[in-house]
Amino acid sequence: MNVIDIRHTQDNRKQGESPVPDLLAVSPSDATASQTWHALDNSLVMTKLDTADAGLSDDEAQSRLEAFGPNALPAAPEKSLFSRIMAQFNNALIYVLLAAAVVTALLGHWIDTGVILGVVVINAAIGFWQEGKAENALAAVRGMLSSSATVLRRGQRQSIAAEELVPGDIVLIEAGDRVPADLRLITAKGLRIDEAPLTGESVPSEKDTASVAAETPLADRSSMAYSGTLVSAGRATAVVVGTGALAEIGRIGAMLDDVAETTTPLLKQIDAFSKWLTGVVLVLCGFIFALAVFGRGYSVDDAFLATIGMAVAAIPEGLPAVITITLALGVQRMAGRQAIIRQLPAVETLGAVSVICTDKTGTLTLNEMVVRDLQTGADAAEISVTGEGYRPEGRLVSDQGDPIAAGRHLIATGVLCSDARLMESDGRWHVSGDPMDGALISLAHKAGFDPADLRRQAAVIDEIPFDSANRFNAVLTQDRDERQVHIKGAPHSILDMCDHHMSADGMAPLNRDVWHDHIERLAERGQRVLAFAFKDGEERRELDVRTIGGGFTLLGIAGFVDPPRPEAIEAIRDCHDAGIGVKMITGDHATTALAIASELGLRTQGGVLTGADIDMMASDDLRERAAKVDVFARATPENKLRLIEALQAQDKVVSMTGDGVNDAPALKKADVGVAMGIKGTEAAKSASRVVLADDNFASIAAAVSEGRTVYDNIRKVISWTLPTNGGESLIIITAILFGLTLPLLPAHILWINMVTAVALGLTLAFEPPEATVMRRPPRKAVDSILTMEMVWRIVLVSCLMAGAAFAAFIWSTGRGDSVEYARTLAVNVIVTLEIFYLFSVRALDSNGLSLQTFFGSRPVLIGVGLTVLLQAAFTYTPIMQLVFETEAVSIADNGLLLLMGLGLLLVLEAEKAVRRQLRS
């Protein structure tokens, strides 16, 4: 058995020597050594830790503190302000911008250089402020630890800083305390602990002192209390078995630190695209330089300037800025749909998601317990309860008789045995107290009873708190001269105390087999079942668990659920329609998980995998099973991490949602981690790239839709931008190849690239979602951002633009116009074709043009209007004519420009129709 053994005792120490047991030789890397304390009898634990009921002495505690260090997680070095700022420039998009700045600086266009560098700085500022102050996930985990602890030192009760706790300390905990270290329980009374941050369990776990099997999963270790969890009821005395990095929360923190973040699909694709573009530009520049020097007799200096001009034409200076702004606009839209983006590229990553691994409690469900079904008689009809969550609205429904009359005694007992309160805040209902008690209070309201009136009519004289050993709680009440004992608790415990049950004719002998069937029926639906009973209190003045006895009359049973969010059911359906797999990971037991999954509309044909199943699987087997199974239960942090890795090994883009410390490693490992904003721990938020403001799965589906729209718009921007650069490059290559006068000057190229990229290209960032955005499968992570169809389109449009501009230039000079007029006409041809091509790109994935294509986007209309005004200034204002060497274009030639633009649009629509026909 893998336990820590302490062999030294008081007897074999030298005089004056501080006790230093073998325990102190254990290094933090041996964190797993604490995992079997739950399997040892508590007396053996005390012996092995060389401690006693009275606790450690101050000297002994100090000695262990020096050996083990403080009860705190090791702090990771914080990033400096400089490194955080520089990280904003570590991006392929920025490299392209910087290359453009270098090129324009070599040409002596300092204003353009300043503009490009300004874009770089603005981009860095957007990224810096969008990501906010970088919080280390380990620091957030440390914030969960208790700041103080109540201990026994030499029999004296005292409060110390939690950081001073050492293995062997005796700790006292009670309701409201945060557990300060990993503890093995010595005594416990009515102890329940909310372990949701560690296990994902939606209700507090019942605790006792009995040891459990060594292989027991974390969520079922009833003899342990773990650091960072919250005591919701009862009290206990316990011995510290794990501190700092040796505690369970420390082990998760270390795991989180070891997980490397993944690169987003967009950055991978942009990086590949940038390398491809750089290669193309270098090849073209080399070709132009060689052709100019050896083929056309250019001097080396002139050839170099022509080559630089070629680079200016080929590099899309405005593209990276427009892509960055497109992502930033996506951030704003997602914030309006309750998804807060912490890292800019995560906007698009959501659109590439092919699998969503989601927590159940609070994300797919309301995280609010509700009574769903009542059984008040052995042969009575089942009573269904409507309404969602704690909100005291709903009704009781039954096929036979009056459901309120049938359930009134059970409901009254439920209220009297509960001390929860319902509270409304900002339109939402919350419970103060146990969640299941809160559900009983809400049930009373739905039945038309006032819980306060019920409590006044039957005053509680004495009570027996819930205890995991007895599995029930009881109250002694007095209503006028009548005293009664009311109990609620685990069904089988209550049945053992009953000999009658209520029926339509009054009390009848208890039929245990029938009631066992009723209990099993509700349990198979994934419901948590409680039973309720009462008996006359006779002359009792107090209650004692040893003398409460039997003789109770069973009032019935109630089934509790954490109900699915109605909008989550629809969102899951939308995800399935979009080809996105949804996998539910929960801390619940397998039966409960399958029942909830079925109700949510998840695919349950593959059954359920538990954490124990995953532990036993080889990686290859897990990859195969993970693809087929959509429901996972009792999963540990390691299980979640392995599941993410198994899916990513199949080239899936994985989104992981979570709220607890136990989710943080998987959130960091996922392609896009999504944390819950309301109930999520700071550790989960820090490890994620997206935070949901409303903890709602429907918001994830909405964010995926927005992410796909962002990617579609980036594709449209690239499809629109690159043909312009391609056309300009072809013009320069053709002119040098045939020894012709250049139809465009470098200044003209920069004007087109910078002005139209902003005025026209940026409008595509505002494009609304395509009608089919959530009815098509997710793209593959390995797919290039440039598809073969896009490459073909870029080549086609580049040739058409270059040909049209050359044709206009040659036609103009041929009729006797000046070179300046012909160049002005060529520039206007390219800009006009860009405007008409913009409308074609808007309908990139549509079946044809419509009025919506031309007038359906206000930003496009504004962009076109602004471009027309800027181009008019470029063509007709004296100062621009002086700077750019332009001349005024005649009205007749402006009409020709419109005809050429319309011709391009018709050619491209015909090409799209042919491609659609070929695909079909």
Q: Is 562 an annotated catalytic residue?
A: no
What span, in angstroms and rounded, lies between the C-alpha atoms of 272 and 493?
65
Catalytic residue chosen out of the listed positions 50, 182, 359, 671:
359
Do strands 654-658 and 672-676 pair parallel, antiparallel, or not at all (unpaired)?
A: parallel
* HSE, side-chain direction, 13 A CA sphere, residue 791: 9
**Other Cβ atoms within 10 Å of 13 Cβ, number:** 12
CA-based nearest residue to 626, from 666, 681, 599: 666
What span, in angstroms and rounded, lies between the C-alpha atoms of 97 and 107?
15
Beta bridge partners of 240: 183
The amino acid present at 481, given as its one-letter code, is D
Largest CA distance in the chain: 121
What DSSP assignment string belongs to 50-70?
T--TT-B-HHHHHHHHHHH--
- Tokens, residue 370: 């509700």
E strand residue ranges, 512-614: 528-536, 552-561, 581-586, 608-610
What span, in angstroms and rounded, lies between the C-alpha atoms of 586 and 609?
11
Residue 795 makes CB contacts below 8 A (sequence gap 6+) with 726
What span, in angstroms and rounded, lies between the C-alpha atoms of 163 and 146?
9
Q: Which helix (H) or strand (E) holds 839?
A: helix 819-842
CA-based nearest residue to 92, from 67, 123, 53: 123
What span, in angstroms and rounded, lies between the C-alpha atoms of 652 and 469?
47
What span, in angstroms and rounded, lies between the C-alpha atoms of 707 and 713?
10
Beta bridge partners of 235: 174, 189
User: Are the C-beta atoms of 710 and 836 separated by less than 8 Å?
Assistant: no
What span, in angstroms and rounded, lies between the C-alpha atoms of 486 and 480?
16
CA-based nearest residue to 732, from 754, 711, 748: 748
Residue 709 makes CB contacts below 8 A (sequence gap 6+) with 330, 333, 351, 767, 768, 769, 770, 773
The terminus-to-terminus CA distance of the chain in angstroms comes to 66
In three-state form (DSSP H/G/I as H, E/B as E, the rest C), the secondary structure along 589-636 is CHHHHHHHHHHHCCCCCCCEEEHHHHHCCCHHHHHHHHHHCCEEECCC
Supply the residues annotated as catalytic. 359
